[in-house]
Structure 1
Amino acid sequence: MKVKVSYAGEKLSLHISEETRVDSFAPRMVEESLSFDVFRNELEQLARTPQFQSSRLLTVVNDGHRNTPTSTLIDWLSRIDETYLGRTDFLVATGTHEPPTEDHYHKIFGPFLDKVRNRVHYHSAIEDENLFELGTDSMGEKVYINKMVRDYPAILAIGSVEPHYFAGFTGGRKSFFPGLSDMATTVRNHNMASSLDAAPLRLDGNPVAEHMQEIIDLLPLEKIIALQTVHGAENQLAGCYWGSLAGAFQQAIAKARKIFVYQVNKVYDIILAEILPPLDSNLYQAQKALENCQSAIKDGGAIIIFSECGDGIGSRFFYDLAKKWDRKRNAATDGKQYFGSHKLARVNLMSRRINIYLHSSLKPEEIRRVFYEPLDNPQDFIYSRVTKSKKSNIAVVHDAAHTVLCA
């Protein structure tokens, strides 16, 4: 039989023996993508809130690394209230990412970019002059956040919710933390992800998610409303929810579980995991597929991640740190925690149980440096593995950066 996975903008065909059991998983389709007419009544209720009606409204949006349909929501809000675009400023929640590129701005704002460009701002986690002290976390450390959160009387947070490999879920509180916070606080939080208790779908008992929540509790939540979306297969708009930051987030989580999560009653010898744009752009993002699938791989089994990584490494924090990583101790050689420690620690731990391969355009030495093995010819690998074990179980996971297998 033949299976197809997306890679570098094309479909890559792989032949698998008819004797081999192959299961396929992907985000579930919805009967009909949500439209303005369907959601209109909800939007009208949102538009009547005192927060939305503020004459000085700040709209916080995701950066270009997410598939949030920001421009669609801006259009819908403008159709409900024609004054919206004229009285809101926009803040792009970049977190620790680089500033948005021109392509990202066009992706975020679409046809509205020219109208709002002079009122669009982006967050920097390292520019202290743009931050103010929000409070102190449970570690006794100060937490800083973008000054615009303090300076505006009302805030609308637009986001999208899907599983996240160590925060449990994206969306909701992530617009503010780490989206608008300082680098040091983000580093403290992300270093908690060295624990595998920080896992997809998990909020309670997840040290990363719990630390995020204590920071969110420091915010002036009464002036914040949220508009959260969930996507199905092929970027269908499967759900859209508004309310308090926590309320909209929880509604979206319930929908996201139905779209992205599969309970499986077995483990697999091989998982073929494709990553779709924009998350196939670099090595930094490739880990999402590994994390979402690893629990469904048998001990000694293998995962092949298909990600072009056309933009190269991505964030270099973890990549440069790998030079001084002691794999036996699973820590930096100097014993210190750094931004990026969590990524190396997690992949290294998983590599002790399963074999992790990456099919990409990167150089082999770049891939091996962060504990993956390069794989030029997935077909030969499949032939060799299946030949050794005629009873192999294989799973094909489409959009593996979002689809989660729970064994």
Structure 2
Amino acid sequence: MEIGLPYGKAKQIVKLDKSCLNDILVSKIEDYHPEQSQTELVAAAIQNPVDSQKLRQLSIDKKKVVIIASDHTRPVPSKIIMPLMLSEIRKGNPEAEITILIATGFHRLTTREELVGKFGETIVDTEKIVVHDSGDESSLVKIGTLPSGGELIINKLAAEADLLVSEGFIEPHFFAGFSGGRKSVLPGIASRVSVLANHCGEFIAHPKARTGVIEGNPLHIDMLYAARTAKLAFVVNVVINSEKEVIHAVAGDCDAAHIKGREFLEKLCKVQATPSDIVITSNGGYPLDQNIYQAVKGMTAAEAAVKQDGVIIMLAKSNDGHGGEAFFNTFRDEKDLKKMLNGFVNTPRDETIPDQWEAQILARILLKAKVIYISAAPETMIKAFQMTPAKDVNEALALARDYLKNEEATVTVIPDGVAVIVE
């Protein structure tokens, strides 16, 4: 049979004999078809907020309003969400001074071209947009101390806002449990110092820092504290399908609305794994598969489904390269994965190095399974990460069988590794 997997803005097709196929793990999201249009879903959520006044009511008499928006690495349908939020705020206060603050977190800065792709020309040309820079100390201010003990430092624009709100989307997240909600503040508009404290080796190694887990997750506890301390008053979050279309929307309190959203998502995206010799997955295609850094997320779904010493085949176009200089340098400079992992776990929270968390999780995956990586990135770069490069999924499958010395190796396919919670 033939199975399509997202790759960049296209797909690759893997050809499999049914006799070796253990399972295809997919979210039920694709079977969910709302009766309302995308715009109607978002508009209805904004008008029926969870545990909050309406956005227009919150906007009354608020002069400085900041809307936190996701960056170029997230497929948030901002062309739908942002006009509705802007309109609603101005209905409450036509004189509001609105700033759209791009939550880059620890990522590179978003370009104008990417902003246009995200919002459209009109919003980019007419609204005030500021791209957050986590390393620019002049634009940051300390507002508290995280439960973990790290300093909570965020963008001054957000800290000085009369009203702070955000847009985003909810999906399974490989160490924060779920994306969306409180993540707009930390890591979204936080300083490097705060992100490093939150993403420390101790927390990443914590058994509760896993996909779909919120209760007892130390990263989530920090993140929610940050959102509350920053006075994040209102969020608009959506759930999207593989076509990046809105199928559900929630709005209101940053925690209560997020809970409603993730309850909806959880019912659709939890899947049970049948351990296989080979697991084939992707990072959901563009924009989530632009670099190796982001692709680690999809690999964690395969990690949960592959047998010890099996093979993971990962499709991620990675046209933007490794996605993190420190992430790349860690693998370039240390070849002993066990030593690398132990070093991360034993690094004090306040000494966390940039991108340590991504390297820590990739090292953990590589100690469980061989990874064959399909991308447009240079082969030398893939090999530096101790992965095996391949041109396409069928070549990768042949390499996997050859490595295992088993032509009848069992296979599980997870078409979109970031869209499921694999149990």
TM-score (norm 2): 0.86
Q: Does the 8 Å CA contact 1:317/1:340 hold for their aligned counterparts?
A: yes
Residue 103 of structure 1 corresponds to: 113
Matched, 1:63 2:71: yes
Matched, 1:394 2:411: yes
Amino acid at match of 1:318: F
Equivalenced residue count is 402
**Which of the numbers 207, 211, 218 marks the counterpart of 1:207?**
218
Distance of 1:6 and 1:39 partners within structure 2:
26
Distance change >3 Å, CA 15–CA 109, structure 1 → 2: closer
**Which of the numbers 96, 101, 115 marks the counterpart of 1:91?**
101
Q: What pairs with 1:4-403 in structure 2 (closer than 5 Å)?
A: 4-27=4-27, 28-29=29-30, 30-32=32-34, 34-38=37-41, 40-45=43-48, 47=54, 49-56=56-63, 57-77=65-85, 83=91, 87=96, 88-117=98-127, 119-192=128-201, 193-195=203-205, 197=207, 198-221=209-232, 224-264=233-273, 266-275=274-283, 276-325=285-334, 326-331=336-341, 337-376=352-391, 378-383=393-398, 389=406, 392-403=409-420
Q: CA deviation at 1:201?
A: 0.9
Distance of 2:55 and 2:13 partners within structure 1:
52
**SS of residue paired to 2:243:** helix
Q: Does the 8 Å CA contact 2:327/2:359 hold for their aligned counterparts?
A: yes
**SS of residue paired to 1:158:** strand
Amino acid at match of 2:113: D
Moved more, 318-327 or 126-135: 318-327
Q: CA deviation at 1:137?
A: 2.5
What's the C-alpha RMSD, in Å, of the aligned pairs?
2.7
Distance of 2:294 and 2:110 partners within structure 1:
17
Amino acid at match of 1:36: T
4+ residue runs over 6 A deviation: 333-336
Moved more, 108-117 or 310-319: 108-117
Distance of 2:87 and 2:151 partners within structure 1:
41
**SS of residue paired to 1:156:** strand
Distance of 1:283 and 1:41 partners within structure 2:
37
Counting aligned pairs with the same residue, the percent is 20
Q: Does the 8 Å CA contact 1:191/1:339 hold for their aligned counterparts?
A: no
Distance change >3 Å, CA 115–CA 238, structure 1 → 2: same
Moved more, 364-373 or 302-311: 364-373
Q: CA deviation at 1:140?
A: 3.8
Distance of 1:85 and 1:34 partners within structure 2:
27
Moved more, 84-93 or 151-160: 84-93
Distance of 1:133 and 1:285 partners within structure 2:
28
Distance of 2:411 and 2:167 partners within structure 1:
38
- The Cα offsets for residues 227-281 of structure 1, whole Å up to 9 and x where unpaired, read as 11111232221111111111111111112213333123x2122111123101121
Distance change >3 Å, CA 18–CA 171, structure 1 → 2: closer
Q: Does the 8 Å CA contact 1:228/1:252 hold for their aligned counterparts?
A: yes
**SS of residue paired to 1:229:** strand
Amino acid at match of 2:106: T
- The Cα offsets for residues 100-153 of structure 1, whole Å up to 9 and x where unpaired, read as 111221123224324534x11121111112111111224544221111223221
**SS of residue paired to 1:19:** helix
Moved more, 49-58 or 165-174: 49-58
